[in-house]
Chain A
Amino acid sequence: MKTYIPNKFIVERDPERCIRCQVCVNQCSFDSHYYDAEDDEVRSREENCVGCHRCVLFCPTGALTIRRSPLDYRENYNWSSEVIEDIIKQAETGGMLLTGMGNDKSQRIYWDHLLLNASQVTNPSIDPLREPMELITYLGRKPDCVEVDLRCVLGTELAPQVKLDVPVMFAAMSYGAVSLNVQESLARAATEIGTLWNTGEGGLHPSLYKYGNNTIVQVASGRFGVDAEYMDAGRVVEIKIGQGAKPGIGGHLPGEKVSADVSRTRMIPQGTDALSPAPQHDIYSIEDLSQLIYALKEATNYTKPISVKIAAVHNAAAIGSGMVRAGADIIVLDGLRGATGAAPKIIRDNVGIPIEMALASLDTRLRQEGIRNLASIVVSGGIRNSGDVAKAIALGADAVYIGTAALIALGCTVCQQCHTGKCAWGICTTDLALTKRVNPDIGARRLANLLRGWSLELKDILGGMGINALESLRGNRLHLRGVGLTDTELGILGVRMVGD
């Protein structure tokens, strides 16, 4: 069938600069460049270009420019080129539209409508270059009160706690969705910086067990790679109920991505689809969730916090309250913009709620019910920089997860082709030739650099507020003001209007 989908990008090759070295041909995993030996020229198949810019950055003579192809449909606010082309694609394939990364639509990003405070005159700001600034965060269930005797010995038995030097963790990205080199980069950076990375639900590769102390191991509906050794290896065990990019639906890792090594780590035969059912079939209620939480506590002999991750949906606050009562030590909310290796586009772009709102309402709810101390709150889904982190913490989060930001640090340009398994940057693929493009030595360095930069910024933000510990910002919504928001939005966020 002839496709009616136009090219998305124009590939411009400057003939003056091109030396026919074919780096672009080798770098492009989507076959957008080819060498014509007869004419001794490198040519383009523009219909294949996804705009990832791998070739542009690797062209030694700077001969390439990639531009968006002008979309010369007649202007129409309702029938945008994206809408038209989605329909064409479905008419040609009869399938669900699949996509990668997070929601790219224009729903309001509340972080951009929240502004942080700083001290002026009446309360001195603190210079983080000269004074100690505390970013340390402990995740886990906190007691209602602690008993300390006169010799300063703690009399209260504490639930297991996990110390983070920086309140930014790497979000769940499974081996299979991303490559082993990506996971190794994440694991090494987390270890160096003193935070945690998350296995996702694809099991833990034997070569990564040594980073176990900085690892969150996930137990999801597919139960891939879950055994006693796996749970013992992790610092935290996380039950994954849902994901912001695809709330309420399961996952299918396509058979092409289930290589020999992925198959070993997931414990399924090579080449079969790795199917994660939509629900966990032992969890149909809060009571059932409690049963799995305590099964995992039993299985790890109460030595590790048990985290439960849900997508931020309409009733996230009430569900979160139930999760705390079910025994979760850490609650993870993944918002509307949470990313994915593959999800139906219609789900990604239309299901869920913004993380800012979900976080604010959950924190408020748990405080109202007097159970906020019983679980830590971690949020994820579109956290872009340390400003977002500071705002999340002021809204009540204990820590955040970053996924997309971490992948960008490794080279990702958010071209949204993760689901094809052909990632030219070698990130979201199991193709062994491509995965070599991420060197874990360099990858770990880039990720650690990113977190170091964010920590410095967080300390600057805190110092400016006249605060010397992140703990003093946590849930402190007086340090936030809203701009361009309605009263209802301000009410849910628990934040006053700028100028007020």
Chain B
Amino acid sequence: MAKSGGNSVVKINASGVFYRELNARLRDIASNDAQRVELHNVCGQRYIGTDLDKPIEIEIFGTPGNDLGAFMDGSRVIVHGNAQDGCGNTMNEGEIIVHGHAGDIIGLSARGGKIFIRDDVGYRAGIHMKEYGDKKPVLVIGGTAQDFLGEYMAGGILILLGLNLSAGEHHQAKYIGTGMHGGVIYLRGSVEDYQLGQEVGIADLEEKDYQIVRKLVGEFAAHFDYEPATILEGKFIKLYPRWLRPYGRLYAY
């Protein structure tokens, strides 16, 4: 392993390295003010990027394990491969860019930062994302998602692009936005009413929505070499929480 500061790239061969050791090395490297790290032959190591509060860029080649960038606070992670479950779990700040698919609960309880997934995601993506003041997490998914997308969402922006759906094909996710009480979902492509949670309303995008979508789709397209105009040609709908207090009427006082 080469140690260095400044602008040079530190390369690590992660083959056979246990996650605890790998993350300890990353911590070490980050505290030496390195700007970029390349991790090669990554195979299932969990928690990469957790406990890093430095603006370091980590480029991952291979398949990182669960909880990639959990609690991450300002680093940038680029994955050339697929991410697993819990990517961006309770992330506070930073960016995760996945050139591939990602598993379940992507961006669970994220409080800030941006996550871009080029292809599909599993169940419960964006569950319980929150926002406060200018901290607003963003999750952009290029492909499609499984059930419970945006469940319990309390804030943030979730964009589902459906770029890999063929013409006329619906998103398959059900219970979209169940329990949603904050934030917004922009969905490109179509869904049937029964696929939405009871707490979700549908609307057309207004200009201020388009401004957000254009900006984030622009970033997405730049990461993955798409033509933003082509993506934006598609029909978007906006899903929003119908109530700030979806469960206000459950109780007898």
Contact = CB atoms under 8 A, between A and B. Distances in A.
Contacts of B248: 254-255, 273
Contacts of B63: none
A294 interface: yes
B66 interface: yes
Given A255-B248, A273-B248, A275-B152, A295 B130 contact: no
A228 B92 contact: yes
A264 B245 contact: no
Q: How large is the interface on A (under 10, 10 to 19, 20 to 34, 35 or more residues)?
A: 35 or more
Contacts of B128: 222-223, 275, 277, 281
A275 B181 contact: yes
Contact of A294 (B47, B135, B249): B47
B36 interface: no
B130 A273 contact: no
Contacts of A89: 252
Contacts of B76: none
Nearest to A222: B128
Interface string B131-156: 11001000000000000000110110
B201 to A, nearest CB: 16
Main secondary structure of the interface of B (DSSP, over half): loop
Interface string A257-297: 00000011011110111010100011000000001001100
B118 interface: no
Contact of A271 (B27, B86, B244): B244
Contact of B111 (A94, A267, A419): A267
Contacts of A273: 181, 244-248
A422 B154 CA distance: 26
Interface in B12-47: 19-20, 23, 27, 46-47
B38 to A, nearest CB: 20
Q: How large is the interface on B (under 10, 10 to 19, 20 to 34, 35 or more residues)?
A: 35 or more
Interface stretch (A95-103, A166-174, A374-382, A463-471): A95-103
B179 A275 contact: yes
Contacts of A222: 109, 128
A251 to B, nearest CB: 11
Interface string B151-185: 11011000000000000000000000001011000
B87 to A, nearest CB: 11
A92 to B, nearest CB: 8
Interface stretch (A122-130, A184-192, A298-306, A451-459): A298-306
B94 to A, nearest CB: 11
A95 B249 contact: yes
Nearest to B132: A267
B155 A228 contact: no
B253 A98 contact: yes
A114 to B, nearest CB: 37
A22 to B, nearest CB: 27
A255 B50 CA distance: 32
Contact of A228 (B67, B73, B135, B249): B73
A96 B251 contact: yes
Given A273-B181, A281-B105, A282-B108, A267 B130 contact: yes
Interface in B195-217: none
B46 A291 contact: yes
A272 B73 contact: no
Contacts of B250: 95-96, 252
Most buried by A among B92, B151, B249: B92
A275 B129 CA distance: 12
Most buried by B among A95, A272, A281: A281
Contacts of B154: 268-269, 272, 275
Interface in B225-253: 244-253
20 contacts: A94-B252, A95-B253, A96-B250, A223-B128, A226-B71, A252-B247, A254-B245, A255-B248, A264-B132, A272-B181, A272-B245, A273-B245, A273-B246, A273-B248, A275-B181, A277-B152, A291-B86, A295-B71, A298-B23, A298-B51
Given A263-B132, A271-B244, A275-B247, 7 more contacts: A255-B248, A266-B132, A299-B47, A299-B50, A299-B70, A299-B71, A344-B251
User: 10 tightest CB-CB pairs across the interface, nearest first?
Assistant: A223-B109, A95-B252, A93-B252, A267-B132, A98-B251, A298-B47, A272-B244, A227-B92, A299-B71, A95-B251
